[in-house]
Amino acid sequence: MAKMGNKPCWWLIHSSRSRMSTTILLITCLLTWAKCQENQSMTQEEKLVIRDQIIEMFDHAYGSYMKYAYPADELMPLSCKGRVRGQEPNRGDIDDSLGKFSLTLIDTLDTLVVLNKLDDFEDAVRKTVRDVRLDNDVVVSVFETNIRVLGGLLGAHVMADLLRQRGERMQWYQDELLHMAKELGHRLLPAFNTTSGLPYPKVNLRYGVLNPLSRTGTESDTCTACAGTMILEFAALSRLSGESVFEENARKALDVLWDRRQRGSDLVGTVINIHNEEWVRRDSGVGAGIDSYYEYLMKAYILLGDNVFLERFNIHYSAIMKYISQPPLLLNVHMHNPTVSVRSWMDSLLAFFPGLQVLRGDLKPAIETHEMLYQVTKQHKFLPEAFTTEFRVHWGQHLLRPEFAESTYYLYKATGDPYYLRVGQSIVEKLNAYARVPCGFAAVQDVRTGTHEDRMDSFFLAEMFKYLYLLFSEKTELPIDIDDYIFTTEAHLLPVSLSTTKPPCPGNDTETDPVSHEEDLFTHSCPSLETLFPNNPSFAKTIRDSYKYLTGVGRAFHPLPVREIELPLHDNGMEPVEFLKSMGISLTPLNEVMAGEGRRQKDRKGVYRVKLVAELSQTQEEEEVLPHVVQLISPPYLGRTVLTAGPAKFGLDLTKQEHGVKGSIVKASPYTACGPIDNAQELEGHIALALRGDCMFAAKARRLQEAGAIGVIFIDHREGSNSEETPLFQMVGDGDSTEDINLPLVFVFSREGAVLTAALEEHQNVDVLLLPKERQLGHDKTEKPVSMNIKLRLAEEGELDEGAARGPTLEFFLEKEQLLLKEEEEEELEHREQQHKACTKADKDGRTAPCTAGSSPTTKSNCGPDTNP
């Protein structure tokens, strides 16, 4: 996201065996101190080491792209080659970012300057001017091309011009990048040729939109962010080139979105029709589909100095905080009925929002949401692409997105709290540990399995390394004055001086009677640190501490006289005691322990023996995704080829169809089914194959249902995905009612989908059967496993000896090295004494300021590495 000009406006240890249907929680909790490493200060030497590590990581990623991929748009880090559109399997709308214009190189240009790689920057500019063409016959996303390519060219031009003015390098440069930016701007302008002024979502770089050769122009919908994230780049292009047409079109699109907001709630929807201006999806949030619309209202005010953008942002922001923000959560609601949440999960793109709140000066909710996100990363290593309000994985993919690092950077710059340096350090360590591969860094296909995906998106180089490097750098160590620039949503640098040094375009008309809204201290002014932290250096910490163990990860165990833990088990025919042994729990009869060395443990001060009593009881199965199958039944397959599929939460319920749904498969045209269906006659009475992407599952289903299809098989657009490595999930609707959809719908991953498409190409007529896996033809029914709970009761020795255990019981003793429970009062006393000694010593050594009341320990002593799971 952004940076502002001049000044910052800104226990259980879990053990599982994946091959077994059982998860068991082993109580091996060692009482640890409250982690102090996260809160301790960081020396300049430590920051330098981490900054050098970030540079090495960047060199590895950028060097791999230049060595293996350039001039291709992106690097395929697992294949060690470039991704060229048309030469690799189609991934749907993801590929609309690729325009055969060396995307990663352009997106990385100004990152090279920030990282002080000025020789590499000059060389990369020469390559861009010499090699890149912008008139390719390819259909691209208007939104992605604007923020990545146009923004990249403009940011690089600003940097090149600055270096040229200094007289040290780039003396050959004659505004070539600006000329390229202007050419690209004109190639994007045809997208705005609509009656509403809202742009088409796609454009052909050579033929525009309405040309018969353009292969686009049939789209009727666009997302709010897609239409509302043009103003920074287009306005900068107008101010730098002197052609006002770009800024005028971007402003008009913002005017339409503002005018179409829901007047009762002041919220906007997620998808809008570009012709009649009606909302297609009415769910409202701050994540995918809307995110950068709000971001660009605030930043347009900062960059252009136009109050109308600030007024609009403040009105929207009040609505967000009233309806969407439920600290620390940010939930999607219905724009017309904002008291109703439309889904129980959040997407990772909303991680930018704390940074935007810093820009506005609203730090308390920014700290709360950021801490929630940090706890999720602790639990899953990275932010999953989507996660539930209970912080479970909803969609496990992680694309190396930079939004969390972005917000971490803003919070550190606003607070100076070294805690955020430690958060940044954890990001660096996890990228190296879990995403690094020999040819770069690879996206994670599923955070639960750690499997990689053969992609390294350009934004990883454009954004992630900028924010991480700046986080660990002082202003004096940078080749530019970073406060003179604002970051676009792709982290490209635009000078805030544009508002005063270049003539503005005609201002927007705003309402004479603006919508009334509550104003606060920061509605029209930038906050100061004195206002945010009035004589309270632990302000941020006191807010974070309320959410520190939100997900349960890292929580210190405080023993109670009796503690019960339920452990789900499944009976597999073994006796329970033997089953526990097979899971690695060693059992020792209490009488043997009592007679042995364990007795001496009782004599140690502050330590008492525990006894666990396991009560076995029946319990219901946890709700899980019921696997479905696509079974090929026509010759030559005859039911022998069975593909695992995931169900949908809407449409026809296949579990209620005794014999499933049978039909011949036909590929939809367009394959994504996100526009008018061209082959409706072929689809009628058949099961449609449709590629995931471009629009919602529900929208595809409606179009295919109208075309006469009797079922739909959605195929994942992520190359190489498969049911063996990726957990199944249930498809969800689009936030509106889906009662009108009565088709059976299933989802298959890419590898399973390839079997279907290959069969269709070879045999033309392929019959399949859609049904739950347990009902597939030739499938022997097996008994459903019996589920049970083990309830563990933790108590002092002797407390449960006489009649306390009811029903079938198992008694076992955890040995000395496995569990030592210190009494809470003694632990707290020792903790405070050592903290006081550490702080006093640090003060005497002159390494840090004295500890204040309520502050956390800041020394490095006695602070081991983070061992939390």
Going by the annotation, the residues of the binding site are 489
How far is Cα 130 from Cα 185, in angstroms, rounded to an integer?
A: 19
How far is Cα 715 from Cα 694, in angstroms, rounded to an integer?
A: 13
- Nearest Cα neighbor of 352 from 496, 554, 179, 491 is 491
DSSP per residue over 654-667, as a string? GGG-TT-EEEEEEE
Is 385 one of the catalytic residues?
A: yes
Let me know: does 281 contact 271? Beta carbons within 8 Å. yes
Task: For residue 120, give the 3-state DSSP assignment.
Answer: helix
Is 827 one of the catalytic residues?
A: no
Is 144 one of the catalytic residues?
A: yes
Let me know: does 40 contact 857? Beta carbons within 8 Å. yes
Let me know: does 442 contact 453? Beta carbons within 8 Å. yes
Please identify which residue in the block is written with the tokens 């995110």. Answer: 291
Tell me the two tokens of residue 283.
Answer: 């769910």
Residues 6+ apart with CB under 8 A from 596: none
Tell me the two tokens of residue 201.
Answer: 């979502």
| Of 74, 291, 463, 752, catalytic | 291
Three state DSSP letters for 504-573: CCCCCCCCCCCCCCCCCCCCCCCCCHHHHCCCCCCHHHHHHHHHCCCCCCCCCCCCCCEEEEEEEEEECC
Partners of 333 in the beta sheet? 284, 341
- The annotated binding site for Ca(2+) is made up of 489
| Of 295, 306, 403, 457, catalytic | 403
In terms of C-beta density within 10 A (0-12 exposed, 13-18 middle, 19 or more buried), how is residue 442 classed?
A: buried
DSSP type of residue 463? I
In terms of C-beta density within 10 A (0-12 exposed, 13-18 middle, 19 or more buried), how is residue 516 classed?
A: exposed
Is 446 one of the catalytic residues?
A: no
How far is Cα 722 from Cα 528, in angstroms, rounded to an integer?
A: 51
Task: For residue 9, give the 3-state DSSP assignment.
Answer: coil
How far is Cα 716 from Cα 453, in angstroms, rounded to an integer?
A: 13
Q: Rounded to an integer, what is the distance from CA 728 to the centroid of its chain? A: 19
DSSP type of residue 649? S
Task: For residue 26, give the 3-state DSSP assignment.
Answer: strand
Q: What amino acid positions are annotated as catalytic residues?
A: 144, 291, 385, 403
